[in-house]
């Protein structure tokens, strides 16, 4: 393989890894963020207690989180075939990534909310704030630094999941490392792909950390 072809392939791999991770993160947060809110709000000590609902959601989330991603990937690919018409390529991997990441994000969001000082919520309740007002004007804004750090962690986890998709015909840097680097005995491609993935992880983590510090009102 020529140098030009290798560079083009790596560029394509970076783009595929980026958009798989970005879209999966977006869809996973659309599902996981509300689930995390519900887990906290409906808890026994929450602002709108519905213990049975909280327990059922907790069990479902734990079940999904306990399934190894590679197994979940094979289970969910038929759904990709049904929804987008194929189970091969980067677009097909977005659905399994979303299913795998949403429960994880729900727990990350739940953890961020539980770090919040209960006195802040009690103060809002004493002023007559409704459940929705507490969620939008207290929980989410006050937990923003922790949520941003959790988002960086979740996105890097999704990126690592996307790298495993190469085993099932997915695209991205993981597929290059597996299909060209490992199976075709080209260690240079494998290591370059790994280094690029590491760089992407570091960039995402650094952005999340900087945004978290910038949004933290305690740091001035």
129 lies in some domain: yes
The lowest-confidence range among 100-109, 113-122, 162-171 is 162-171
Average pLDDT estimate for 198-214: 90
How buried is 40 (Cβ within 10 angstroms: 0-12 exposed, 13-18 middle, 19+ buried)? buried
**Domain total for the chain?**
1
Q: What is the pTM of this model?
A: 0.88
Residues 6+ apart with CB under 8 A from 92: 77, 80, 81, 84, 86, 169, 170
27 lies in some domain: yes
182 lies in some domain: yes
42 lies in some domain: yes
Tokens of 183: 């199976």
How many angstroms separate the CA atoms of 170 and 136, rounded? 38
Secondary structure of residue 26 in the 3-state scheme: helix
pLDDT in tens, 130-166: 888 888 888 888 889 999 999 999 999 999 888 887 7
Helix, strand, coil percent content, the chain, rounded in steps of 5? 80, 0, 20
Per-residue confidence (pLDDT) for residue 219, from 0 to 100 = 53
103 lies in some domain: yes
220 lies in some domain: no
Task: Give residue 82's domain range.
Answer: 3-215
Number of C-beta neighbours around residue 144 at 10 A: 17
99 lies in some domain: yes
128: CATH:
1.10.3720.10
| Cα distances (Å, whole numbers) of residue 161 to 43, 105, 172 | 30, 14, 11
Average pLDDT estimate for 100-115: 92
159 lies in some domain: yes
């Amino acid at each position: 393989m020529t140098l030009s072809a290798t560079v083009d392939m790596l560029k394509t791999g970076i783009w595929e890894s980026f958009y798989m991770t970005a879209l999966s993160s977006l869809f996973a947060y659309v599902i996981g963020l509300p689930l995390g809110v519900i887990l906290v709000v409906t808890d026994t000590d929450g602002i709108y207690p519905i213990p049975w609902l909280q327990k059922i959601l907790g069990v479902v989330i734990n079940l999904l989180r306990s399934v190894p991603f590679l197994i979940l990937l094979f289970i969910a690919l038929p759904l990709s075939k049904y929804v987008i018409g194929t189970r091969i390529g980067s677009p097909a991997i977005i659905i399994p990534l979303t299913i795998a990441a949403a429960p994880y994000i729900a727990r990350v969001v739940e953890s961020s909310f539980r770090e919040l000082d209960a006195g802040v919520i009690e103060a809002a309740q004493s002023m007559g704030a409704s459940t929705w007002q507490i969620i939008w004007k207290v929980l989410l804004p006050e937990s923003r630094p922790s949520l941003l750090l959790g988002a960086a962690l979740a996105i890097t986890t999704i990126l690592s999941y996307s790298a495993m998709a190469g085993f099932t015909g997915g695209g991205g840097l993981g597929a290059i490392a597996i299909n060209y680097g490992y199976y075709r005995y080209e260690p240079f491609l494998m290591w370059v792909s790994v280094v690029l993935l590491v760089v992407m992880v570091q960039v995402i983590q650094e952005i999340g950390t900087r945004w978290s510090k910038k949004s933290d009102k305690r740091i001035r």
